[in-house]
């Protein structure tokens, strides 16, 4: 005889209740994502947008920090170095690090975005799958920094 037959309604009720309670406990154990105002672990505040190194000649390196872009998971901000009209360095100054999943995503996404930017020499870069929000914020901040660096 099967355990869930109609002649044993109490057993069905107990199993349904146990399943419901288990599902509710699992849902309540999930931690909601909160976006911090500042990057956790940052030792110094981010430089103001538009800060750049003085340029004495046309070939001198210029450093510019893009706007901070608020994404669903936290702020993203990029700093670029342009030397002789070429993009020579890109650094993510701020990015989501609030939880282990953010750290995991950004550990593979940020190096890829940096390589893309250096190869493209512009903000027209491919997005990283699985890091859509970070990629979008990165591209926007990168474009802002490039606009400032090229003046």
Note whether 86 and 135 are same-domain residues.
yes
pLDDT band at 149 (very low <50, low <70, confident <90, very high): confident
Note whether 91 and 17 are same-domain residues.
no
Q: Could you report the per-residue pLDDT of 117-133, keeping only the tens digit for each?
A: 999 888 888 888 888 89
Is 55 within a domain? no
pLDDT for 111 beyond 70: yes
Is the pTM higher than 0.85? The answer reads: no
CATH number, domain of 132, equals 3.90.1010.20
Is 51 within a domain? no
Q: Could you report the per-residue pLDDT of 28-83, keeping only the tens digit for each?
A: 777 555 443 333 333 334 444 444 444 444 568 889 999 999 988 899 999 999 98
148, 52 Cβ separation under 8 angstroms: yes
Is 50 within a domain? no
Note whether 137 and 95 are same-domain residues.
yes
Note whether 93 and 25 are same-domain residues.
no
Is 42 within a domain? no
Q: Could you report the per-residue pLDDT of 7-33, keeping only the tens digit for each?
A: 777 888 888 999 998 888 877 777 555
* Number of domains observed in the structure of the chain: 2
Cβ neighbours of residue 150 under 8 Å, at least 6 residues apart?
Answer: 82, 85
Specify the 3-state DSSP secondary structure of 76. Answer: strand
Summarize the confidence of residues 100-112 as an average pLDDT: 90
Cα distance between residue 106 and residue 114, in whole Å: 11
The pLDDT score that the predictor gives to residue 5 is 55
Is 35 within a domain? no
The pLDDT score that the predictor gives to residue 39 is 36
Residue among 91, 84, 79 at smallest CA distance from 148 = 79
Is 15 within a domain? yes
70, 37 Cβ separation under 8 angstroms: no
Q: Which domain holds residue 1?
A: 1-30
80, 87 Cβ separation under 8 angstroms: yes
């Amino acid at each position: 005889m099967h355990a869930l037959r109609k002649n044993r309604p109490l057993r069905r009720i107990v199993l349904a209740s146990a399943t419901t309670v288990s599902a509710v406990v699992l849902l309540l154990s999930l931690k909601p994502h909160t976006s911090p105002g500042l990057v956790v672990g940052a030792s110094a505040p981010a430089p103001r947008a538009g800060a750049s190194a003085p340029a004495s000649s046309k070939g001198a390196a210029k450093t510019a920090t893009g706007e901070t872009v608020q994404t669903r998971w936290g702020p993203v901000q990029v700093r670029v170095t342009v030397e002789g009209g070429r993009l020579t360095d890109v650094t993510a100054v701020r990015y989501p690090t609030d939880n282990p999943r953010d750290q995991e995503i950004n550990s593979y996404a940020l190096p890829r975005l940096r390589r893309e930017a250096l190869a493209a020499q512009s903000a027209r870069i491919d997005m990283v799958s699985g890091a859509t929000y970070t990629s979008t914020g990165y591209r926007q901040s990168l474009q802002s920094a490039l606009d400032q660096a090229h003046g």
